[in-house]
Structure 1
């Protein structure tokens, strides 16, 4: 198949995570991580590089808790408040989209609607909202325990509806009579009571696009109903093909177009001049994960204790706990369960899976040519509409992405050579 026919004329959508993932598993050299003296400069530089590469957006992940066992006190491990950080990026860029995260479990919708609309104005239509239901952090917002996934997603659906109503509640112009077109939304629901209207004008670029990451059964239904793009947890091509096809079917059933939900898996890549060097980077990034830690992570992900098994022993579906057993993340548990049910893998194969050693992201290791070929294969197979770039292993891996990998995607006709619009909706091809 020719390069021009790989995408059927479509282009990849590419986002870039500004979290310093290339430092994972090692101590950074000076200048590689955010500086305590000027952390904003570090992230602004990444946004500028992403914009120079014509990427769709940069993405700032957010967590509302800190695990003391994993904290190392470095600026690179600090979860800076995303709206403030992206507002700084907005002033130093002009085209790149700016996607931030908000927990629907812990935040009031009026505050989030106002923050996003403000960022939308500061960036002139480049803001996007990643909706998360959170799986940890309840203790930072009161004494109540974390709600069940079912409750969290019901709350997320109502939260999203209220935010959308608020974004539309203060149009930029009246009816010509000199009277304001602002109107109350008078929302009364299961979780929220919000009168409105919002006190920030709607932007002429349209509402900020919505992103979502849930891949469990309930998460998929929610994503298909509201998301313009899904940050897919897809550790392998088969999982991504199944997820994308399922989301497209669900979107059509809910009255949307199949193409309205763009599937963007995280791509955790390790780039180097040779394959051997790339695999060395991969090994170094995971060297801190001892067998004991991986076994504990397996228990956390799927509730399975494999500590009594040998490395070559096979894990079969009959060994798995009940599907409804409590787990930290239903998405990761379902992905790992599917892999075990389909492959009867060895213990060592399971302990090396992305769901165990990472965040269930697609991992690609090798030269620029190797990873580009991997991307093209996934795109041709219908496994994705694009990806979120997660550089791994080294600063060189990061540089190779910007300096060689993206230009090669452009050369092959898989990615844009220049921006065709000025807003995030433009970049995503939204009507």
Structure 2
């Protein structure tokens, strides 16, 4: 029995992660704007002892509304509703460093961390769609390098704000009329290329010190950013070998920066179709694929991989040269494009087959099989240095999550791979992450010891 414990998040995607989920009778697309729908998902994930629910987002209408459930609720607000209905499950929201300001976003996450008693996590994205720029009065979307430079400043600023009150700044001395020790409240005083924030913050330090920092980019810039800042990484891989290479690279980069690599949890996406038999699981996957709309899938490929296949017959093979040099592992600037190129090179699919391959989870790994087979895949990746856990991406909600929690989780527990009870109360506890030291307190202690 393994002594290692893997980590599991439920990745919330309104009707489910398969692009045709909303058309399938097992899904509930009429509920995707209801708070109780998301509360039920959160409670189901908590009952199964998941580390967190993970909510994606983007500040633009990215999908084709004619063919998909394109609308999205704002994630921090939704996670606040889930927090009110749960007690232990972590709450990870996606928010863009390109289209927020640090002070506002720091307040939102601080509030979520307080109200949830220490369960907040921030999935840091720089936003990859040009459509967002015009929603914020910009004529163009910043290039990747500029976005990551701003993101680094943003995280540095946000952590200064969250740390601006030392942990013992609030004294609550009623007898002498002193609420806080103002010597322990500090201004952020951040001045950078992209951001200038004075501070101080207008709330004390939250239960976790600050929310768990999560990141979802796999380009060269994204990897460097993750190695420096991230405490959990959401990533996409089709093969064990590629996942192992990514895992090793991130851990090595973090170690080189003086970080403990065990304090970075790497969580690939996994979308499971589950059946009593492998044939039944594959039949279920085919049911969903038959509901796809090719025009939508072709647009998704353009968005994911910047490749236009619309001129090809659906039953013609996808040409390898359509992806240029994306298979070159030294060029990570278009990482999701590389994932798609890998599928094409390995499987040589027709256009229709590629559309079906990507329909399940937008390039994340899709597995169709029995609960034992799903558990085998998880165990192999976990024990062979490819993952610290997974972002579970049910093809449809809520039943796809229920299938996983009721049939796969017990197998993982019997194998000693997953917890049988929560041992902590915060998201940091669940992930085995330390509460960060307050940077201002550390500086003051260092100055005093040097004097």
Distance change in 2, residues 1:141/1:295 (3 Å): closer
Q: Which sits farther off after the overlay, 381-390 or 38-47? A: 38-47
Task: Indicate whether 1:201 and 2:204 are aligned.
Answer: yes
Structure 1 pair 207/295, CA: closer, same or farther in 2 (3 Å)? closer
1:363/1:29 Cα in 2 relative to 1: closer, same or farther (>3 Å)?
A: closer
- Name the CA shift for 1:365/1:55 in 2 (closer, same or farther; >3 Å): same
User: Is 1:188 aligned with 2:184?
Assistant: no
May I ask how many residue pairs the two structures share in their alignment?
417
2:266 paired with 1:260? no
Which residue of 2 is the match for residue 421 of structure 1? 424
Shift >6 Å, 4+ stretches? none
* Residue 321 (structure 1) aligns with: 324
Note closer, same or farther for the CA distance 1:296–1:24 as it changes in structure 2 (3 Å cut): closer
The 8 Å contact of residues 105 and 155 in structure 1, kept in 2 or not, is answered as: yes
Aligned to 1:21: 16
2:233 to 230, 233, 237: 230
1:65–1:292 distance in 2 versus 1, CA, 3 Å: closer
| Distance across 2 between alignment mates of 1:310 and 1:94 | 48
- Which residue matches 1:85? 78
Q: CA deviation at 1:335?
A: 2.6
CA contact (8 A) 1:169 1:197 kept: yes
Assess, with a 3 A threshold, how the Cα gap between structure 1 residues 195 and 338 changes in structure 2: closer, same or farther: same
Residue 57 (structure 2) aligned to one of 55, 62, 66: 62
* Structure 2 gap segments, 5+ residues each: 172-177, 328-332, 435-451
Contact 1:43 1:89 in 2 (8 A): yes
State the secondary structure of the residue aligned to 1:264.
strand
Cα separation, partners in 2 of 1:140 and 1:299, compared to 1, 3 Å? closer
Q: What is the match of residue 11 of structure 1?
A: 5
Contact 1:298/1:356 (CA < 8 Å) preserved in 2?
no
Structure 2 counterpart SS, 1:78: coil
Structure 1 partner of 2:118: 125
CA distance in 2, matches of 1:271, 1:339: 22
2:160 counterpart of 1:165: yes
Counterpart of 1:42? 37
Q: Give the structure 1 partner of residue 335 of structure 2.
A: 331
Structure 1 distance, partners of 2:296, 2:138, is 30
Distance 1:366 1:217, change over 3 A: same
Deviations 1:50-92 (A, max 9, x none): 111111011111121114733569xx65311112111111121
SS in 2 for 1:383: coil
Output the TM-score relative to the length of structure 2. Answer: 0.84
1:144/1:111 CA distance change after superposition, 3 Å: same
> Equivalents in 1 of 2:292, 2:380: separation in Å?
30
Counting only pairs closer than 5 Å after superposition, residues 196-345 of structure 1 correspond to structure 2 as: 196-289=199-292, 294=297, 297-304=300-307, 307=311, 315-316=319-320, 320-321=323-324, 330-338=334-342, 343=346, 345=348
Mapped contact 1:15–1:389 kept (Cα < 8 A): yes
Shift of 1:48: 0.8
**Superposed displacement of residue 29, structure 1:** 4.8
**Distance in 2 (alpha carbons) for counterparts of 1:98 and 1:107:** 19
The alignment status of 1:99 with 2:92, answered yes or no, reads yes
| CA-CA distance at 1:238 after TM superposition | 2.0
* Aligned-CA RMSD value: 3.0
CA distance in structure 2 between the partners assigned to 1:220 and 1:146 by the alignment: 21
Rate the CA distance shift 1:293–1:60 in 2: closer, same or farther, 3 A.
closer
- Whole-angstrom CA distance in 1 between matches of 2:398 and 2:85: 22
Note if 1:51 corresponds to 2:26. Answer: no
User: Among 134, 143, 149, which residue is 1:139 paired with?
Assistant: 134
Q: 1:402 aligns with which of 394, 398, 405?
A: 405
User: Residues 394 and 94 from structure 1, CA distance in 2 versus in 1: closer, same or farther, beyond 3 angstroms?
Assistant: closer
**Alpha-carbon contact 1:233-1:359 (below 8 Å) kept:** no
Following superposition, the deviation at residue 35 of structure 1 comes to: 3.0
TM-score (norm 1): 0.87
Deviation at 1:21? 0.9
Alpha-carbon contact 2:11-2:54 (below 8 Å) kept: yes
Q: Cα offset for 1:336?
A: 3.0
Aligned equivalent of 2:443: none
The aligned counterpart of 2:365 is: 362
Q: Quick check: 1:103–1:131 contact (8 Å CA) kept in 2?
A: yes
Moved more, 124-133 or 164-173: 164-173
